[in-house]
Amino acid sequence: MLSQTVEYALRAVVYLAQHAPEPQKTSEIAAVTKVPPAYLSKVLQGLRTEDIVHLQRGVGGGVSLAKLPAELTILDVVNAVDPIQRITTCPLDLAAHGVRLCALHRRMDDAIKEMENAFRSTTLAELLQDPNPSVPLCGAED
């Protein structure tokens, strides 16, 4: 349901949140998150454009979050790289439906809305503080 770009962006920002506020090397992020380095560079540029991350070249440079993990939501990250598309008109362009969605498309949009609300209400800090024994990216550095 979510694109690979979103998955990669979320992996990268979770890693950065785990190491905030210190900048991290792109090569390290790629290795730990298992994101191809060239693709990661593209994803990071999108995140930079939307003020999710800072990119700094040179000695002591790297990638860091532009905000505190408690200030960034999953929705911020998703919408920075591949915005969620709601269903506002009939996807079949049926004139009889217009903006009155049929039962199928209304339920699909309701599901998208629920996902959007869940992402809007979850910060990166909350992900890292979750008591779930499966910690994000754990074991990825092995």
CA–CA distance, 43 with 11 (Å, rounded to integer): 11
Q: Which is nearest to 18 in space by CA: 118, 124, 122, 132?
A: 124
Bond before 21 cis per omega within 30 degrees: yes
CA–CA distance, 105 with 120 (Å, rounded to integer): 22
Please give the DSSP secondary-structure letter assigned to residue 96: T
CA–CA distance, 96 with 107 (Å, rounded to integer): 18
Give the pLDDT score at 30: 95
Give the pLDDT score at 142: 46
Instruction: Give the three-state DSSP class for 55.
Output: strand
Give the pLDDT score at 138: 55
Please give the DSSP secondary-structure letter assigned to residue 64: E
Domains and CATH numbers, the chain: 4-83+123-129 (1.10.10.10)
Give the pLDDT score at 49: 96
Q: Which is nearest to 17 in space by CA: 81, 65, 52?
A: 65
Which pTM was predicted?
0.87
Q: Which amino acid is present at 116?
A: E
Give the pLDDT score at 37: 95
Q: Which amino acid is present at 133?
A: P
Give the pLDDT score at 140: 55
Give the pLDDT score at 89: 83
> Which residue is it, tokens 């785990």?
18
Residue ranges of the chain with per-residue pLDDT less than 70: 137-142
Number of H helices, E strands in the chain: 6, 2
